[in-house]
Amino acid sequence: MIERKFIEDHIKSLEVEEYLAKVLEKADYSHTDIQITPLSTRLIVHVGRPGIAIGRAGKNIEMITNVLSEKYAVKNPQLDIQSIESPDLDATYVAHQISSAIERYVKPNRITNIYLRNIMNAGAYGAEIQISGKISGGRGRTDKKQVGYIKKSGDFAIGNVDRGFSTAMMKPGVLGIKVMIMKNLPESMLIEKRIKAAIVDEAKEKADKKAAKLKTEEDAAAKEDVNAVSVKKDEKEVKEEKEVKKETDKKTTKTDKKEDKEVEKKAAAKKEKEIKTVKEEKVEKKAKEAKNEETAEKKEKEKVAETSEKKKTTKKEVKRTAVKKEKNKE
């Protein structure tokens, strides 16, 4: 009798979940947690979009509670609609999202890769997505992609591996989408991981110690090499300084000689200029004197010409006066 009661309760819970999945399909239904108490039965419904599940002024909640109490004989049902905490780690939510994307003609290969990446980034240890049906072409096939580690059999797989299923209605036919997500690891694997991590840490410590010793030895050798190199550099610098001094001395002597030659050239040029100026001045003086003499001679000649002309005029006037006197006497 007790076994039958357990079976009946389990069948009732499955029927309730199927009904909620149909009613709340648009709200991205995930799963329900049923808690039976002496006074009431609490139904914690996990949904991706709680606003659509509640409806305007809670109409959907009232409708669902009435159906559960009348049709499925649930005693005093109380709905508690909650949003999914981590959607990428919920298998049914991921399956519904993949099916809706495929119905919008997104390529299955691309969408599976995207969601596998999102699942692993959310903190899962493994994930598997399987799509079966007429994916491309006339024949049906199954495409399976897996990332990480997944336990597929045993008690741990039943209790800790989250499974989800959804369907995509396409023109060639219906596609079935199965999603498996492993959120935790078995204790045995955790112990093995701890042991491996401890071994790896010990090996790293030993390698670090060896590397530190090698570094100290290399640093000491490098210091010795640096000291030897510094001594060699000092000797080279001294030699180079001597060579530089010699070259500078040679250059200074050459520059001094060049400067002396330039000074001598400048002095000779000055002397030549002075001699030329003196000669030019003498020539100019002679030319001026010659011009003055010529001007004086011209003036004297002009004076002589003027005096001769004056004399001629005076003789003519004397003759004219004598002729006038003779005429008057007559």
Average of per-residue pLDDT values in the chain: 81
Q: Is 36 a domain residue?
A: yes
Whether residue 30 is found in the same domain as residue 107: no
Residue carrying the six token digits 């741990």? 156
Whole-number pLDDT of residue 190: 64
Q: How confident is the model at residue 110 (pLDDT cuts 50, 70, 90)?
A: very high
- 75 and 93 share a domain? no
CATH number at residue 113: 3.30.1140.32
CA separation for the pair 208, 245 (Å, rounded): 52
pLDDT classification of 227: cutoffs 50, 70, 90: low
CATH number where 46 lies: 3.30.300.20
Which among 31, 58, 85 is the end of a domain?
A: 85
Nearest residue to 95 via CA among 22, 194, 36, 163:
163
Number of domains in the chain: 2
Residue 28 sits in the same domain as residue 100: no
Within a domain: 317: no
Q: Which residue has the higher pLDDT, 305 or 84?
A: 84
Confidence (pLDDT) at 228:
64
CB 147 within 8 A of CB 127: yes
pLDDT band at 175 (very low <50, low <70, confident <90, very high): very high
Task: Say whether both 104 and 65 belong to one domain.
Answer: no
More confident residue, 311 or 46: 46
Q: What is the pLDDT of residue 17?
A: 83
Same-domain status, 80 and 114: no
Residues 35, 115 within the same domain: no
CA-wise closest residue to 24 among 112, 89, 93, 75: 93
Domain co-membership, 102 together with 181 = yes
Domain of residue 48, residue span = 2-85
- pLDDT tens-digit series, residues 237-288: 777 777 877 777 777 666 666 676 777 777 778 877 777 787 777 778 887 8
Measure the CA–CA gap between 294 and 168, rounded to whole angstroms: 135
- What average pLDDT does range 218-232 have in this prediction? 69
Mean pLDDT, residues 129-150: 89
Q: What is the pLDDT of residue 43?
A: 85
97 and 81 part of one domain: no
At 198-216, the pLDDT tens digits run 778 888 888 888 888 888 8
Residue 298 in any domain: the answer is no
Residue 237 corresponds to which amino acid? Answer: E
Q: What is the pTM of this model?
A: 0.53
Point out the domain boundary residue: 42, 69, 85: 85
